[in-house]
Amino acid sequence: MIKSRQDYLAYLEADRKSLSQPQGRASYFFDDVWRFQRLLRKVEYLTNCNGNWLLKSWARLRFKRLGARLGFTIPPNTCGPGLSIAHIGTIVINSSARVGANCRLHVCVNIGTQAGIPGAIPIIGDNCYIAPGAKIFGGIEIGSNTTIGANAVVNSSFPEGNTTIAGIPAKVVADKSSDGLLIKGYQHGGV
């Protein structure tokens, strides 16, 4: 969670690296996913660090508009540093869910609660690759370095990590971690 300007800058740099964004004006202005992620981090920073209310309101408005245009419903303070949104398209994350560092999200991913059970939210570890169409819901835990296959329905915990899960309902299909499927822009202990 962003708690200072230094954290804010570290999250931005980790996100930039995970998205493989060059340091330059072209990607800064013309890549909508990168613009969304920068606005996400700005809203987190202004919310968590008691920013100016006018600036906070303006940032939230721009964030909501861009999110609606791109199909992203990703609330502030749900994703760790090094977030990588692969494509424009529907991504929905519940505001109580927690997604770890260096996670890569593809289109049509839904991370939500279990109906009728408040607080039953997923907790996803670091370095997870979530393929297109994955649905993750309920009070479950996904371990670090996990690959979640396309169109998987994950409604039970896989806390061990370092595996590939897929299917409906999801089950372990391989002992292969997410190495090679994502770029780790964030390294624990610094960026």
Minimal CA–CA distance to 92: which of 80, 81, 107? 107
How does residue 190 score in pLDDT terms, banded at 50, 70 and 90? low
The single-letter code of the amino acid at 76 is: P
In whole angstroms, give the CA distance from residue 106 to residue 14: 18
What is the sign, positive or negative, of the torsion defined by CA atoms of 64, 65, 66, 70?
Answer: positive
pLDDT recorded at residue 114: 87
Q: Where residue 26 falls among pLDDT bands split at 50, 70, 90?
A: low
Count of alpha carbons within 13 angstroms of residue 32, beta-carbon side: 12
Q: Which of 19-28, 115-124, 133-142 reaches the highest mean pLDDT?
A: 133-142
pLDDT, one tens digit per residue, over 176-186 is: 999 999 899 89
Contact predicate 43/59, CB 8 Å? yes
- Which candidate, 72, 121, 69, 66, places its Cα nearest to that of 92? 72
Task: Check whether the bond before 22 is cis (ω within 30° of 0).
Answer: no
Residues of the chain with CATH 2.160.10.10: 90-181
Tell me which of 53-62, 91-100, 127-136, 178-187 is least confident. 178-187
The two three-digit tokens of residue 96, written as one number: 């109580």
Ordered alpha helix ranges (H), 24-105: 25-30, 32-48, 53-70
- The confidence score (pLDDT) of residue 51 equals 73
pTM, 2 dp: 0.91
Residues paired with residue 111 on neighbouring β-strands, in sequence order: 93, 136
The set of residues, in sequence order, having a beta carbon less than 8 Å from that of 26 and lying 6+ positions away, is none
Per residue in 70-119, pLDDT (tens digit) is 999 999 999 999 999 999 999 999 999 999 999 999 999 999 998 888 78
Q: Which CATH superfamily is domain 90-181 in?
A: Hexapeptide repeat proteins (2.160.10.10)
